[in-house]
Structure 1
Amino acid sequence: MDNYITDRNDTIENLLSKEHYFQSLLQVLHSNDILNNKELENIQVQILDILRETANYYTKAESYSVRVEVAEQIMLSIYYTIGSFLKGKTSIKERITLIKENTMKYLFSEGEKVLKIKIEESKELLKNVQKNKLKTGNYAYIDTINYGIPLFFIEYDSRFAAHETQGSIDYPLAIDEMDLVGIEYINEYLRKIDFENQFCSHFDSHEIENLLKSFDKNSDHILINIFELVLTNYLGCMLLGKEGITLDITDIEKRYLKNKLGKLKEEEFNEVISRIVEDIFKEFTINDINFINYINKTIYKIMPNIKKNIEINKLENTFITFKNANENLIRYEDGESLENSRFKGITEEIRECDKVENKIQIIREEIHSLRDLVDVLGSDCIFDYEFIEIFKVLDDFEISLLLKYIPNDSVMDVDYGTESEKEWHEKLKEYLNMINEEKKSKIIAESLNIIL
């Protein structure tokens, strides 16, 4: 039996679900007669005992029963916790031994330890990601790192819902494997975005913003992966043999690339790309095998697009040429944000005001950063017509800045965010429709050129 397990180790592993790991492992082991009926029934009985004990914690010992939906969620959480422990073992044989020779309560307890470690690791990763985040105005990127992922740690419940992925994560990774859930997904997400930030840190932030604006003038409001765009254009620059760490590729250079790459057979094309990628690893001193694998996976994703666009003479769909309009970009440095306790006190003071004039006075005197102003607008302390009155006293540039925080393909479409955020988005749209067209066009155009 040991030889059988060793021989089929990879086959069994490929049959397992990353999301429902323990359940799929039990199913595969049972269907292959590695676990018999009696062993499987014993495991299920033990898990039910863990469920009863956990449900008792859930009700704070006030009841011995919970709703069916709650019991099902707790059961999934238990399976997830045990699976987290077993995933960390190096072979199927070791996992089988653990299942056969230990109680489920022991495996569950060890799984809880694994989750606690992963939570702490992920919190440290988040600190690093926030510290080294890119200077970009892309809303999804900013919102995910500053608010969405921190929200996960506030709401995550490793005891009763370890398998659930809380928070709000909108920013797409270059390679996003969605078959993970819970803290495992967050941990993986943070590792990958850390890799992406590390790579992009080698480039001038103004060049990166130029690249994004040249890709789409509304790049702040669309879901794009910054790293993939940067890697693609730098790959093109390396293929051109350009000196220095630059991202711009001219139209003439794109024609040269088409002629150069279009003559290569598939095997030759793959070899050329492989050599360039190796040069990138050396140039940026990338030695981490996981980092290397992530870049290679992204390159593998990019390559078919390069080939296809060479064939149809649309290489501009792969490599981006900077647009001269980007010379008009406005780089905005925000003021210092308030401490949470101070901010909370101000919003409560605003909420208690009966007159909008008093609310405006508090905002003018106490709020000195765009981020705080946006948060005030979405904090349920300003209501209905008061938004319009506040917008009226802001200057055009301040209105342009606020438009940067309406995260959509079009600055005039407002169907995203919490209910409070949607309200001020709608009111800003209403205000813009009240002013003359020339002024509105100027505000929107200026907003598109702002880099936060």
Structure 2
Amino acid sequence: MNYKVEELMPVVARLADKYTSKESTSISYDTAQQLMEAVWYCIRECEGEKRDSLLEGAQIGCMTAYEEGYRIALNKVLTAKELYHQIAVGFDDFGCRNYRETIIKGMPVFFTKYDVRFEPQNQILTLDYPVLNLNLEKKGIDLILEYLEKTAYEQKFLKYFSRRGVMRLLEQRCMDYRELYLDNICEPVLLRGAACLAAETVVYKLKLEEEDVVAAKEYFMTEPTVRQMSNSKENSMKQLERKLEVLYDVLERNIMKEDYKGIFRSCAHEAAVRLNSNVQLL
């Protein structure tokens, strides 16, 4: 839907009336910009929905698009709130302060302060705990809802493993991980799980004996063939990345089952770079 600025202005003006409760005829430039962004946000929400009530390919009125988008955003808030309550009931931070504070302390602030009508583009939170594959181009409730969906997905994945095994692995990565660990927890778990598969040992415990470490290193650090020697470093990295992609996908598929989304393969490249520079990460 393409609207000209002059088509948006009546919508912004009506929103400004609500913002000031019609007690003022003027608002600041910053407030006007905020309200304009709010209108655009809701219109984009409407564009993102395929609804029978909207004629496909037809240009609906700007006010209608805005109100429909507002309703869609409001429903997303209700969906996100329900999902958050489901996550909070069984949430496990594995002792990681950053994870706990982001989800348990931070997220309720969003639902308290989020303004669907006047500033839906503002997600309020900095989301300090990084979930995997989050689309940071999204804003407002769209970003929060995706963040919560990925949090729920990661929680289910992590709970497959021994809780003590996950915590022991985090402690190996960062001695004072409870206070200082700021990265995603799934990343080291995926790498260790892949190493367990490579060493043909039990995955659930995330534990590698000395002989398992040797077996995993041999599997991952296979030298390139003679045919690859012309560009051995690059080919070796690609080979390592492909191996990790396969094992990450096996882990995700077997653990998530009907909820499988195939998103963890994207972590293989960064893991390959880190593993290639520090094999002790296994």
TM-score by length of 1: 0.55
267-276 or 177-186: bigger deviation? 267-276
CA contact (8 A) 2:129 2:184 kept: yes
Report the CA distance between 1:190 and its aligned residue.
Answer: 0.5
CA contact (8 A) 1:77 1:159 kept: yes
- SS of match in other structure, 2:257: coil
Q: Give the direction of change, closer, same or farther, for the CA distance of 1:224–1:268 in structure 2 (3 Å limit).
A: closer
Match of 2:274 in 1: 305
1:80-229 mapped onto 2 (5 Å cutoff): 80-89=41-50, 97-98=57-58, 101-222=59-180, 223-229=182-188
Match of 1:280 in 2: 251
CA contact (8 A) 1:151 1:168 kept: no
- SS of match in other structure, 2:22: coil
CA contact (8 A) 2:106 2:125 kept: yes
> Residue by residue, what CA displacement relative to the aligned partner does 1:144-175 show, whole Å, maximum 9, x if unpaired?
11111110110100111010111352212233
Q: Give the direction of change, closer, same or farther, for the CA distance of 1:246–1:196 in structure 2 (3 Å limit).
A: same
Q: Give the direction of change, closer, same or farther, for the CA distance of 1:135–1:166 in structure 2 (3 Å limit).
A: closer
CA contact (8 A) 1:84 1:114 kept: yes
Report the CA distance between 1:246 and its aligned residue.
Answer: 1.9
- SS of match in other structure, 1:183: helix
Cα distance in 1 between the residues matched to 2:63 and 2:13: 12
Match of 1:444 in 2: none
Q: Give the direction of change, closer, same or farther, for the CA distance of 1:105–1:171 in structure 2 (3 Å limit).
A: same
Q: Does 1:56 align with 2:14?
A: no
CA contact (8 A) 1:254 1:315 kept: no
Report the CA distance between 1:244 and its aligned residue.
Answer: 4.9
Q: Give the direction of change, closer, same or farther, for the CA distance of 1:95–1:87 in structure 2 (3 Å limit).
A: farther
Cα distance in 1 between the residues matched to 2:258 and 2:46: 28
- SS of match in other structure, 2:206: coil
Report the CA distance between 1:274 and its aligned residue.
Answer: 4.4
Q: Does 1:239 align with 2:198?
A: yes
Root-mean-square deviation (Å): 2.4
Q: Give the direction of change, closer, same or farther, for the CA distance of 1:192–1:207 in structure 2 (3 Å limit).
A: same
CA contact (8 A) 1:240 1:257 kept: yes
Report the CA distance between 1:71 and its aligned residue.
Answer: 0.6
- SS of match in other structure, 2:263: helix
Report the CA distance between 1:213 and its aligned residue.
Answer: 1.2
Structure 1 alignment gaps of length 5 or more: 1-21, 27-39, 320-452
- SS of match in other structure, 2:186: helix
> Residue by residue, what CA displacement relative to the aligned partner does 1:94-128 show, whole Å, maximum 9, x if unpaired?
99824xx2111111011011101110111111112
Q: How many residue pairs align between the two structures? A: 267
Answer with 1 or 2: which has the greater Rg. Answer: 1
Provide the identity percentage: 21
Cα distance in 1 between the residues matched to 2:223 and 2:63: 60
CA contact (8 A) 1:237 1:246 kept: no
TM-score by length of 2: 0.86
Report the CA distance between 1:250 and its aligned residue.
Answer: 3.8
Match of 1:255 in 2: 214
Report the CA distance between 1:264 and its aligned residue.
Answer: 5.3
Q: Give the direction of change, closer, same or farther, for the CA distance of 1:279–1:169 in structure 2 (3 Å limit).
A: closer
Q: Give the direction of change, closer, same or farther, for the CA distance of 1:295–1:286 in structure 2 (3 Å limit).
A: farther
CA contact (8 A) 1:286 1:292 kept: no
Cα distance in 1 between the residues matched to 2:20 and 2:49: 31
Match of 2:229 in 1: none
- SS of match in other structure, 2:81: helix
> Residue by residue, what CA displacement relative to the aligned partner does 1:334-392 show, whole Å, maximum 9, x if unpaired?
xxxxxxxxxxxxxxxxxxxxxxxxxxxxxxxxxxxxxxxxxxxxxxxxxxxxxxxxxxx
CA contact (8 A) 1:150 1:167 kept: no
Report the CA distance between 1:301 and its aligned residue.
Answer: 3.5
Q: Does 1:292 align with 2:253?
A: no
